Amino acid sequence: MGTASIVLNLAWRNLWRNYRRTAIMLVAVVVGVWAMIFMSAMMRGMVDGMLVGSIRSLPGHVQIHNPNFRDDPTVNNLFPSPNENLIAVLEQEDVVAWSSRVRVPAVVMSERNFRGVTLIGIDPVAEVSVSFVADDMTEGRFLLGTEDTGLILGRRLAERLETEVGKRVVVLTQDPSNEIVDRGFRVIGVYEAQVASTEEIYAFVGRSTLQTLLGIGGQVSEIAVLGADYRDTEALYHRINAAVGNRLEVLPWYELNRYLSSMLGMMDGFVLIWIVVIFLALSFGLVNTLMMSVFERVREIGLMMALGMKPGVILGQIITESLMLLGMGLLIGDVFAWVTIQRLREGIDLSAVSEGLEMMGAGSVLTPSLQASDVVLATIVVLVLGFLASLFPAMRASRYHPVDAMTKV
């Protein structure tokens, strides 16, 4: 125990012998660690925003389809509404909400213009917790039930069609035998989506109203299921898959949107690269500082060796000093990063570049998301690489010959 406590004690005192140098290095480490953690949280927050936005804009965490639906998303590829077996699974605790929908290509005609849309028949009560539509209503009212005969449009679509809440439009679509069917709807509400191009794509009606129009009975196009956390959908996915059997296709969100899931994977790589790059930039200063402190102490090191301190202990001494410095930097840097992130919890408003973020699939408010794993990763990288970087100066120090070192000017 003796040696260890002496080494620790000496290391601490040595660090503060040249307080300016140590303080400068410490500030550099703090800035570096702060940047590592803060930037990682920002990158995570960006991807989180994209994911949550994308999951809210319809898919949910797990979806059930007719196996042909994704290739040919029309009224020809439906499936019967869920049986008791499936409903039992969907009513379990880890399912936050689920919603079954009818989804067909359609054309909406106002008296002045017409546009192609994806028409979605929903159960408004169930849909409220699954997707964005109800929250993002800006005008008029939301659908009241599956039998509601109103139509909800996106703001941009309403502008293109030169129509507004209260006016009537005609919806044209095709039934399963490819006959054109049409029906008048009153526009009862307008929504504004986080990603404005969504507003031109989706229009919503009551599910039963659409089923009647299409003559498809109780059949639906998709069931979207929302679990507790998008990072953990495996169990839910397997249970649903087992319940529906192989007649239907069950897909988790990361299969439905490969771009987002690969973004999530790529972010892990970016965070690691960023942390390593920052450390490398720091390491030059670190090695330099240690070298300086070794050179200044050559005579002293020689004396300690002459008095019987083993080279291994000298080596350990220098490395301990380095790790002590890095440890302090990590601690303070983490605290600063945590405070910064706490202060930005409400999100950073980037609406000045919102159309650009929209192109990347993100909303205009960026909320940093601190992940414990990133903090652990940064700590490990800094300590392990810091250890390696200190080896060189430490080895130099431990290889001095006591007599040479003591007589060195």
Partner 1 sequence: MSITFRLAWRNIWRQPRRTWLTVGALVFSNILLIFLISVQLGTYLMMIDNTLAPLTGHLQVQYEGYKDDQRIHQAVPAVRGLAADIRERLSLETIAARGAAFALTSSEDRTYGVQIIGVEPEFEPRISTLPGLIKEGRFLDDINAPEIVIGAVLARNLRVQLGDELTILGSARDGSFAATVVRIVGIFESGMVELDRSFAEIPLGFFQDTFVMDGAGHTVVINAQNLFSVSTLQQQVQALLPDMEGLVVHDWDDLQPGLRQAIQADLLGAWFMYGVLVILVAFSVLNTQLMSVLERTREFGITMSLGLTSGRLGWLIMLETAMIGLLGLGLGVFLGGLVVYWFTVNGFTYPGLELAAQFNLPDRIYPNLNSISLLVGPCIVFLASLVAAVYPAARVHFLQPVQAMRAA
Residues 307-336 that bind partner 1 (CB under 8 A): none
115 contacts partner 1 (rule: CB under 8 A): yes
Decide: is 140 part of the binding site for partner 1 (CB under 8 A): no
What distances in angstroms separate CA 159 from CA 153, 155, 191, one per listed residue? 10, 6, 12
Q: Which residues, in sequence order, are bridge partners of residue 220?
A: 79
Is residue 21 near partner 1 by the rule CB under 8 A?
A: yes
In terms of CB distance, is 88 or 359 closer to partner 1? 359
The amino acid sitting at 389 is A
Q: What is the smallest separation between the CB atom of 314 and partner 1, expressed in angstroms?
A: 19
- Show the DSSP H helices in 162-257 as ranges: 198-201, 207-214, 234-244, 253-256
The single residue among 8, 10, 31, 276 that binds partner 1, judged by CB under 8 A, is 31
- Please say whether the beta carbons of 101 and 121 come within 8 A: yes
Count of all residues that appear for the chain in the document: 409
**How many residues form the binding site for partner 1 (CB under 8 A)?**
59
DSSP 3-31: HHHHHHHHHHHHHTTTHHHHHHHHHHHHH
CB of 146 to partner 1, least distance (A): 26
CB of 121 to partner 1, least distance (A): 18
Is the Cβ of residue 176 or residue 316 nearer to partner 1 in the bound state? Answer: 176
* Helix and strand element counts for the chain (H, E): 15, 12
- The verdict on 87 binding partner 1 (CB under 8 A) reads no
Helix axes 19-56, 258-296, angle to 10 degrees: 180
**DSSP secondary structure letter of residue 230:** T
Q: Which one among 11, 25, 102, 397 touches partner 1, defined by CB under 8 A? A: 25
How would you classify the pairing of strands 150-154 and 180-191?
parallel
Contact (Cβ atoms closer than 8 angstroms) between residue 361 and residue 264: no
Contact assessment for residue 247 and residue 108, using Cβ atoms and an 8 Å cutoff: no
| Binding map of partner 1 across residues 332-351, x = CB under 8 A, - = no contact | ------------------x-
At its nearest, how many Å lie between partner 1 and the CB of residue 287?
6
Does 66 participate in binding partner 1 (rule CB under 8 A)?
no
Helix (H) / strand (E) element for 117: namely: strand 114-122
304 binds partner 1 (CB under 8 A): no
Residue whose token pair is 């809440």: 165
32 is an interface residue for partner 1 by CB under 8 A: yes
Q: Which stretch binds partner 1 (CB under 8 A): 21-29, 135-143, 210-218, 307-315?
A: 21-29
Binding residues for partner 1, per CB under 8 A?
18, 20-21, 24-25, 27-28, 31-32, 35, 39, 42-43, 71-72, 74, 105, 107, 113-117, 160, 172, 174, 178, 180, 258-259, 262-263, 265-266, 269, 274, 277-278, 280-282, 284-285, 287-289, 291-292, 350, 352-361
